[in-house]
Chain A
Amino acid sequence: MSVTMPPQEPVDEDVETKPDTRSRAAKAKEKLTSPWATLAAIIIAVFWTVPTVALFMSSLIPGDRYRTDAWWTVMADGDLTFENFTTVLFDSFGDNSTAPPLLEYVFNSIVVTVPSVVLPVVLGLMAAYAFAWIPFRGSSFLFVLIFALQVVPLQLALIPLLRILGPENLGIAGEFPGVWIAHTIFALPLSVFLLHNFVSHIPREVLEAARVDGASHTQMFFRIIIPLSLPAVASLAIFQFLWVWNDLLVSAVFGSANTYPLTYPISNLAGDYGQYAYLVPPAAFISMIIPLIVFFSLQRYFVRGLLAGSTKG
């Protein structure tokens, strides 16, 4: 049951199958690799990659040909250009030529994302340790409650939370701190649950030995829990990074023109088929570069995180 699949279980894709099991396995499965299955796999692989390539090619079409010519036609004419990327990044991105450049939103995305990853991971690890190893009254009830909160649609919290963060109360809606806090709150249930799964599998002897030596919870947290949970922290951090970087809803509700990340102007301009439509593909491609780098370089950790907490809603 992968709801509680322990993260350290060696079930991810990189598992080395022993040579003799491999050949036995090959024998046991023989005909599943029929030509039809291969064909279906190829079709799926093509449909899952070509669209992204097409986006990249479309972002190279000069503005005056974007509406009328497909990228392959423009390519055949040798007219593809990287100019759109510099235009979008450094000049302006929007439905008029005075709109701010996309670079501003790149910075906003960074400023929104990094604290929104650090805060829930640290707070989540603290609570995960308490729920896993410190017996107290109501512990199991609270843990189940947090677990259940994972699937509550965040739409249910938006209006009142905006009021709490808004001008009548805290006055930080529309500014970075407001966006960080909203992201942190929405990330906590998954963070606690996923880290709890990992922390609770730390061998009991390790913690008991420290306890016998008179270590306090604070000392255990810094000396044992943090160093031993780094793999789980890495998984969660990547997961949360992609989540926040790619988010639109939280930023749209709790942010403002000063804080909007990349997704916001792109989403706005995507439905606008006017003369600036040609700026959308390069902007969308730029917004994907950092998550794709993170994803491909840290895929192992990401997969591990998915396997450990596959109930994220």
Chain B
Amino acid sequence: MTSTGVPAVTPMPMDGLDAQFWSAQGQNLLLGAIAIIAFLAIVALIMYGADLIKGGARDKVQLVVLVTPVLGLLAVGLIYPALDTTWLSFNEITNEPDPDTGIFTTTMSFVGLDNYRFAFSDPTTLRTILNTFVWMILVPLMSTGIGLAYAVFIDRAKGEKVLKSLVFMPMAISLVGASVIWGNIMYDYNQVGEQTGMLNALRALVGLDPYNFLVDDPWNTFWLIVILVWIQTGFAMVILSAAIKGVPVEQNEAASLDGANAWQRFWSITIPSIRSTIVVVLTTITIMALKVYDIVRTVTQGRNNTDIVANKMYVLSFVEGREALGAALAVILFVFVIPIVIYNVRSLNKVRETH
């Protein structure tokens, strides 16, 4: 057990858990508790304070109290930053010594589309954008396809609830956890010796050579995509399964009497009835696939041409200090989702009109 060089057992167990550790953790927990109590107390105080007002102003003040926190936070924390990022993406930030004083000063200068021009001409960044596009197409299609197939196969089967839970469970696992599961356990590759990765062990079992999943460009992007599909299939399955159960039995019966087989009924009755739900699932997963950076960061850190915009944006902005280019990539991500925003707002308005 305790052989060469690997400190499997540290000499002094629980070394790190001294009094200082516990007092720091205690303080943090206390901070959290106080924050929650103070927050609730302030909300209650302001709400009841607004209730003391007499006369016609009362309703107006209370309305302001109800909506201001959300509108204020969104305006300051989401809308203004989004506009600011967009502006930043048309600028260049330079940090150079002032010719007269020699003091380093940060200056922002408008450069138009330069950052975008760079993003689409630099081969690494362009590849990053193309990879993101592949994620955006494959993740929703695969998750929805597999989720729908599974939902149909187990519909009204014995133990349906348990079977659903099995596929749904990865939803509770973090993307980092899933990345460890696949990157470190399933895709593991050893040049020599026993294959410790599950998939390579399976390959060895049927006599195939071990395969380096995470290095083989361009397929490595596909293997990373599988990780997100693994997480998202449960989501698609649960939503689609609920929709399938809403399809009237009578329609299926009638088609059955007309001699339609299961496959024909699936395509001519089930699919059309749940079409709008399929669209919602596809769009939701598309947006998810665009934003996810955890998988690439955890498994490959973008090596071997696996980088995607979300990860590159993080690295540029917060590691390499090239914020303007990072901003341009964030805007490119947003441009990818604009059609979905428009589509969603349209369907929301349609539903609101019918109410």
> Are B318 and A253 in touch, CB under 8 angstroms?
yes
A230 in the interface (beta carbon within 8 A)? no
Taking CB atoms, residues of chain A closer than 8 Å to B297 are: 248, 267
Q: Are B48 and A126 in contact (CB under 8 A)?
A: no
Are A2's CB and B239's CB within 8 A? yes
Asked if A3 is at the interface of the complex by the 8 Å CB criterion, the answer is: yes
Tally of contact residues, A, Cβ under 8 A = 154
Take A267-B179, A291-B172 as given contacts and tell me if A313 and B78 are in contact as well, using a CB distance cutoff of 8 Å: no
Q: How far is the CA of A63 from the CA of B241 in the complex (A)?
A: 43
| Number of chain B residues whose Cβ lies closer than 8 Å to a Cβ of chain A | 152
Q: How many A-B residue pairs have CB under 8 A?
A: 453
6 A-B pairs (CB sep. < 8 Å):
A48-B233, A107-B29, A158-B318, A288-B177, A302-B171, A312-B284
Residue of A nearest to B79 (CB): A149
Question: Which of chain A's residues have a CB closer than 8 A to the CB of B293?
Answer: 248-249
Q: Which residue of B lies closest to A180 (CB)?
A: B35
- Do A55 and B181 contact each other (CB < 8 Å), given the known contacts A3-B347, A291-B173? yes
A53–B266 Cα distance when bound, in Å, is 34
Judging by beta carbons under 8 Å apart, are B337 and A218 in contact? no
Say yes or no: A28 contacts B175, CB within 8 Å.
no
Q: Given the known inter-chain contacts A3-B344, A144-B345, A296-B165, please indicate yes or no for A130 contacting B67, CB distance below 8 A.
A: yes
Known pairs A17-B156, A263-B294 / 9 extra A-B pairs, C-beta < 8 Å: A1-B347, A17-B245, A41-B150, A90-B13, A127-B71, A148-B341, A248-B294, A249-B314, A253-B314
Interface of chain A, main secondary structure: helix
Interface check A203, CB cutoff 8 A: no
Give the residue of B3, B175, B233 whose beta carbon is less than 8 angstroms from that of A248: B175
Say yes or no: A38-B153 contact (C-beta < 8 A), given A185-B73, A284-B181, A313-B287.
Answer: yes
CA A188 – CA B326 in complex, angstroms?
25
* CB nearest neighbor in A for B275: A1
Q: Convert A218-255 into 0s and 1s, putting 1 for each residue whose CB lies closer than 8 angstroms to a CB of B.
A: 11011000000000000000000010011111001100
Smallest CB separation, A25 vs chain B (Å): 5
Q: Answer yes or no: B111 CB below 8 A from chain A CBs.
A: no
Contact segment of B113-121, B123-131, B195-203, B217-225: B195-203
Contact with B along A196-227 (1 / 0, CB 8 A): 00000000000000000000111101100000
A270, B153: Cβ atoms under 8 Å?
A: no
Task: Say if the beta carbon of A153 comes within 8 Å of chain B.
Answer: yes
- Given A25-B249, A217-B66, A291-B174, residue A280 in contact with residue B169 (CB < 8 A): no
State how many angstroms separate the Cβ of A59 from the closest Cβ of chain B: 9
Residue in B17, B172, B179 whose beta carbon sits within 8 Å of that of A288 in the complex: B172
Interface contact B252-A153, CB-CB below 8 Å? no
Q: For residue B330, which residues in chain A have a CB less than 8 angstroms away from its CB?
A: 153, 155-156, 158-159
